[in-house]
Structure 1
């Protein structure tokens, strides 16, 4: 080959040209296949977009641009179809005589230009629509402003007239409703008071005066008896000083009746002297008769009556109607205790309850399950939830009969203050007759 190149280069050039012809033909054939495939893919992607533009903006210019696009597409499809149906020899020949850049490039450029024109026409049409919307909005705003300017004065005058009439009607309605509610509250309050005054404990002031008189008479008769200083008990001081609702129990036997009665009188007098609200239940003169035997329900009615009298001005028609219905439905001790709690909630600040359980006749057994300690503790817990700032101090005075059985086992020792009575020797009795000192 080297010898042939040196002596006959024309033959070598002929061979080299033949080889280049074959290689260029294969390369152009491959480029044609790639160009047709890529063009078909791009056309398939652009046709749905063109269809949407023709639906949204069917203008003359858009239709003309779409027609030009379809014409160029048809030309391209015809040329591609002819190439696909050619044989191998024609493919070999046309790959040299009709390279893809000369055969298809002009049509593809026209198709791309038509597609860009359609997109630009669609964008311009969208801008026109936005401009129309803007103009319409400006027109609407101008009309609204004009309408508001013409109607504002009349509307303002109408609103002022309506507000004035509503205020006048509300004032008249409120005054009439207040007067009606007050009358209804007074009527319901009088019904409750008449229902509660039917109890067997009588007037609390009369019972208090009776105990004061009885205590003064018995002070001289019981000089031979002494008691422990239960009134100075730390438990009693804690009960009175802590800023919360609390229960205390003073427990003594039959011989301690005089000491407990005297203590009740003293503590009520001290609270009244300091203008502290106090409600009490003391044994009166009527309790010594057969018809004056009082039950636990009578005691609760007695306390509720006093609690209502302490806060007559705190009643409204709705609360009084509810409580009036509850009073008529109350049957067992727990119901009356809940009503007592509702009455105590009307108080403000602090209120004391001094309850001498000797006012109750022990033959009238309360409802099964009722416990002085447990039920009062539950009541105080409910009061704390509903009125945290209210302090209810409950003082129960009784003996072992009042807190027997199941109750005695569950009463904590830190709230029980015992009263112990001892006989005074003869020598000290004579000294006490000379100088008597009340505790």
Structure 2
């Protein structure tokens, strides 16, 4: 009985040994198959991650993963080349948990680390992309502002060019009209500005030589209400007989004050600087002389058609009433205009002089 029990125990032990050996061998084969599948799945993904994000940290993680994969493959190759008796022995002495499971766990961890680095790299790229988009939007807003400024500059330049063209047309019309006026019969040829500058220089010379006071306070009470009159007003200043220079100086001083104030002013002053043929010798010539200056005010806000119309009227009208009407037409749109006339600048008839007024 004792021998039979021992034999049965030995048989049972042998059967258990065989079953355990078989199970361990099967587990080893299954683990190797799973490990090879895991390696085959991880390698392409790891290679792509390394290409997309070749950072130093990614390179270290991939190097560690490749090292563990190579180590696993070497162990698998070594197991495959073993004799079947070694398989039996190693299935007990070196089970799959000790030989392959830990290594495969490390491979899986490193593969996950590579995937995490790739995911973080993708997020970093997205963040960088967002920053670039924000920067592009900022540049776009700035560019749009610059475009708007450029458009405003273009509009201003276009308006300036248009006004320049209009001003050029007005200047041409002005020159043509003045040329036409000077070409009229018995038209005074003297330049009003030259006449004014001549009288101004002569007054200043007399003031320096103390031949003229330069100021005329005695006429202030009469000039003040005239300059502030709400409606059209006529003022005649009587100078003492024999004081011709005082009359000249008073007239040019009034013109100087008005021009300094920037108000529209017409004048007919003494033209002694010119020859006798250019002196104003009649009322018609004075009106034409004033009309010559009034055309400048008229053309400042008129078109060529208006200038042509005025030219036609001047060609058809030469007597004093018609010239007075034309002078009024030229000054109709000017709110305030001052006209200063030195009466002695007009020589009525031959060899006659009137007292200055």
Higher Cα radius of gyration: 2
| Greater share of residues in strand | 1
TM-score range, shorter chain: 0.3 to 0.5
Output the TM-score relative to the length of structure 1: 0.37
Higher relative contact order (CA 8 A, sep 6+): 1
